Amino acid sequence: MAEFTMDLNDEQKEVRDWLHGFAADVIRPAAAEWDEREETPWPVIQEAAKVGIYSLDFYAQQFFDPTGLGIPMAMEELFWGDAGIALSIVGTGLAAVGVLANGTEEQIGTWIPQMYGDQNDVKVAAFCSSEPDAGSDVASMRTRAVYDAAKDEWVLNGTKTWATNGGIANVHVVVAVVDAELGSKGHASFIVPPNTPGLSQGQKFKKHGIRASHTAEVVLEDVRIPGSCLLGGKEKLDERMARAREKARSGGGERVKNAAMATFEASRPAVGAMAVGTARAAYEEALEYAKTRTQFGRPIIDNQGVAFQLADMRTQIDAARLLVWRASWMATTGKKFENAEGSMSKLFASETAKKVTGQAIQILGGNGFTREYPVERMHRDAAIYTIFEGTSEIQRLVIARTLSGMPIR
Query: Where in the sequence numbering do the catalytic residues fall?
Result: 389
Measure the CA angle with vertex 205, ends 117 and 59; round to 5°.
30
User: How far is it, in rounded angstroms, from Cα 22 to Cα 52?
Assistant: 11
CB 331 within 8 A of CB 68: yes
Single-letter code of the amino acid located at 234: K
CA dihedral 36, 37, 39, 45 (to 10 degrees): -80
Q: Give me the phi and psi of 89, to 5 degrees please.
A: -75, -40
Q: Give me the phi and psi of 8, to 5 degrees please.
A: -75, 140
Closest CA to 83 of 123, 132, 30, 124: 30
Q: What are the b/e assignments for 70-105, b being 16+ CB within 10 Å?
A: bbbbbbbbbbbbbbbbbbbbbbbbbbbbbbbbbbee
Radius of gyration of the chain from Cα atoms? 22
The enclosing H or E element of 154 equals strand 153-164
What is the three-class DSSP state of 260?
helix
User: How far is it, in rounded angstroms, from Cα 163 to Cα 213?
Assistant: 10
What is the three-class DSSP state of 192?
strand
What is the three-class DSSP state of 105?
helix
End-to-end CA distance of the chain: 37
User: How far is it, in rounded angstroms, from Cα 196 to Cα 38?
Assistant: 27
The enclosing H or E element of 51 equals helix 42-51
List, as own/partner pairs, every contact residues 111-119 make where C-beta atoms lie below 8 angstroms and the sequence separation is at least 24, other chains included. 111/171, 111/191, 112/56, 113/56, 114/170, 114/171, 114/193, 114/194, 115/56, 115/169, 115/170, 115/171, 116/49, 116/54, 116/55, 116/56, 116/92, 117/49, 117/170, 118/49, 119/46, 119/49, 119/50, 119/55
